[in-house]
A and B are shown apart, each in its own frame.
Chain A
């Protein structure tokens, strides 16, 4: 009977596609909105992800998430170093700074920029446009000696990490360079998608920025490198420098130590060391994993983001249920006489219910596969762009569960109609 069910299902192609499209839409919307939500949540903790090498984040006892910096006195660094189980501990400065850049380049006006390009190509004297840009950036001050927390070498697009120890040196995240230097010929920039991939990339385009001056809170800084940093929730560019230089850039305050990054001794669980630090110093100590979740939890609890995305995902579920359910139910209704004929000819309710469930399963699998596939394609197309998009493996069974739920709800209504159907219906003309 299964082949009969399948032929019935695909016999009317328009209806078949209608059901599959409904489920595809639901699966796409749930996966896509879920992925954007997860992507956004991951961005909130982007800087915790980016700091490699340290097991522990030690902070003021009142800090709730990574951007909730409550500066501490530097003495706390030594207190942490003194706790048993701590292999090493380094300071980290995290704060906002104002970057000001004066540069010359092509005009922001496309027509004027075209004229400048034409003149340049003809070998004429170009009247370059002056740009003055002031941009808020996230300033990360890394331990002068170890540079713990610096981007790994494969994420340095231009320059060298070691140059960070040179006077006034900073390494700039590439994401906001376009905004900081609007006069550049950005058409030659490698696609962002490529920059966020794990493959070794050609960052020679960014060499042109090396050696350029930036004003960081009225202090001179020189770009010695361009790197890829995980995008942050606020999407500000990240500027790396040393801890001591960050203190110079930062406004004068008595307390400047944002975090202490620490490493647990070999063979000692970081969570145990964190507990020990908290006990001995009264500071808050979290493993990197815990701090990621602290940050995400904060955004989940204190912002409307989950509700907004939850509503969209729920809407996708409802619209998918409505479209797929209605089409599937109509499909069953239109085949009611055929089902009645099968019942009259001796097909049991169980077999007919089995046929309907098979049909629901097939359209469910197709809709799920297509929806998740489209969502993955969407994510791939958007990779490296402004859109936060991350599809964790856990999201797929959730989408699958939602599609199964839609199919069950749709087929239950249909099954009910068929089960209570009197086969005598076939004798009514």
Chain B
């Protein structure tokens, strides 16, 4: 598969990341979070969404953030993805401190290094599946023709080869989510953030999408973070952070058959 730099004809400068640091167990740390806090509102409306969160996400595995509604999962994911600024603490993505980046640099960093999968897919209704999947490459500066060409190739690997010219409203929910996954992967990001990717899907389609994510997205050197409250898919997570009231209250490592270590429910 052609690299993003090759497609855009330039070497990413602003978004360049350093070498991965190693955890004590010699696993590469993709995302390092230390003492991250975030609040919303003021006065009577003040809500603490994150209260000094520490966590690490490793490359080459699928990490999950689970917990009840309003516990801060999505806020944590937004901070990790660099689309929400933390009030305090440090967030390092592949060794780069995103909390100290300017907005512009952060935007370029996201464009080069992060892929997004949204709960509601957020596909542009007027664009075909291939055009939607090509957007990150276009943002990175690739020509439409080359970007769509590569997007078609990615869609084909995800089993959507016959639907590349379909509009979103001609696709089922599962197919739309596949397009969203293709869009998240097309520029070969090093971090994939997925917000409730199965929430709008039925059980079987949700499992298929998670399998697809695991098979297509999890690669050495790439980290995948999934926020979900769907306990039917918890077994896909190799490292699960359970959150409650703005804190990570438990980190579960799942090895072998992960189903055996799963929490019954969150």
Most B-side CB within 10 Å, residue of A346, A348, A428: A346
Residue A337 is within 8 A (CB to CB) of chain B in the complex: yes
Residue A73 is within 8 A (CB to CB) of chain B in the complex: no
- On chain B, the residues within 8 Å of A162 by CB distance are none
Check B74–A10 contact: CB distance below 8 A.
Answer: no
Residue interface mask A173-194, B partner, CB < 8 A = 1: 0000000000000000000000
Residue B126 is within 8 A (CB to CB) of chain A in the complex: yes
- On chain A, the residues within 8 Å of B140 by CB distance are 346
Check B138–A1 contact: CB distance below 8 A.
Answer: yes
Check A7–B127 contact: CB distance below 8 A.
Answer: yes
Contact A4 B199, CB 8 Å, known A10-B126, A344-B81, A346-B111: no
Check B127–A4 contact: CB distance below 8 A.
Answer: yes
Q: How far is the CA of A240 from the CA of B138 in the complex (A)?
A: 73
Contact A424 B78, CB 8 Å, known A342-B139, A344-B116, A346-B112: yes
Check B139–A423 contact: CB distance below 8 A.
Answer: no
Check B144–A3 contact: CB distance below 8 A.
Answer: yes
Residue B104 is within 8 A (CB to CB) of chain A in the complex: yes
Check B122–A429 contact: CB distance below 8 A.
Answer: no
CB distance from A32 to the nearest CB of B (A): 34
Check B83–A422 contact: CB distance below 8 A.
Answer: yes
B125-160 at interface with A (beta carbon < 8 Å)? 125-127, 131, 135-136, 138-140, 144
Residue A365 is within 8 A (CB to CB) of chain B in the complex: no
Residue interface mask B58-89, A partner, CB < 8 A = 1: 00000000000000001001100101100000
Q: How far is the CA of A344 from the CA of B118 in the complex (A)?
A: 11
- On chain A, the residues within 8 Å of B122 by CB distance are 337-338, 340-341, 426
Q: How far is the CA of A10 from the CA of B125 in the complex (A)?
A: 11
Check A341–B104 contact: CB distance below 8 A.
Answer: no
Check B84–A422 contact: CB distance below 8 A.
Answer: yes
CB distance from B5 to the nearest CB of A (A): 14
CB distance from B95 to the nearest CB of A (A): 19
Residue B188 is within 8 A (CB to CB) of chain A in the complex: no
Most A-side CB within 10 Å, residue of B109, B118, B126: B126
Q: How far is the CA of A1 from the CA of B134 in the complex (A)?
A: 11
Q: How far is the CA of A163 from the CA of B52 in the complex (A)?
A: 106
Q: How far is the CA of A278 from the CA of B109 in the complex (A)?
A: 79
Most A-side CB within 10 Å, residue of B81, B109, B111, B138: B138
Select from chain A the residue with minimum beta-carbon distance to B167.
A11
Most A-side CB within 10 Å, residue of B77, B120, B199: B120
Residue B216 is within 8 A (CB to CB) of chain A in the complex: no
Residue A8 is within 8 A (CB to CB) of chain B in the complex: yes
Residue interface mask B99-112, A partner, CB < 8 A = 1: 00000100111111
Q: How far is the CA of A307 from the CA of B111 in the complex (A)?
A: 55
Contact of B135 among A337, A345, A423, A427 (CB under 8 A): A345
Check A8–B124 contact: CB distance below 8 A.
Answer: yes
CB distance from B169 to the nearest CB of A (A): 10
- On chain A, the residues within 8 Å of B126 by CB distance are 7-8, 10-12
CB distance from B157 to the nearest CB of A (A): 20
- On chain A, the residues within 8 Å of B119 by CB distance are 427, 429
Check B110–A344 contact: CB distance below 8 A.
Answer: yes
Contact of B136 among A3, A337, A345, A424 (CB under 8 A): A345
- On chain B, the residues within 8 Å of A342 by CB distance are 135, 139
CB distance from B80 to the nearest CB of A (A): 11
User: Can you list 9 pairs linking A and B with CB atoms under 8 Å apart?
Assistant: A338-B124, A341-B116, A344-B116, A345-B116, A346-B109, A348-B104, A427-B77, A427-B118, A429-B196
9 more CB-based (< 8 A) A-B contacts, given A345-B116, A427-B77, A427-B78: A3-B144, A4-B135, A337-B120, A344-B116, A351-B139, A424-B84, A426-B116, A426-B122, A427-B74
Instruction: Name the 9 nearest CB pairs between A and B, nearest first.
Output: A346-B111, A11-B126, A341-B122, A423-B83, A424-B78, A424-B84, A7-B126, A346-B110, A427-B74
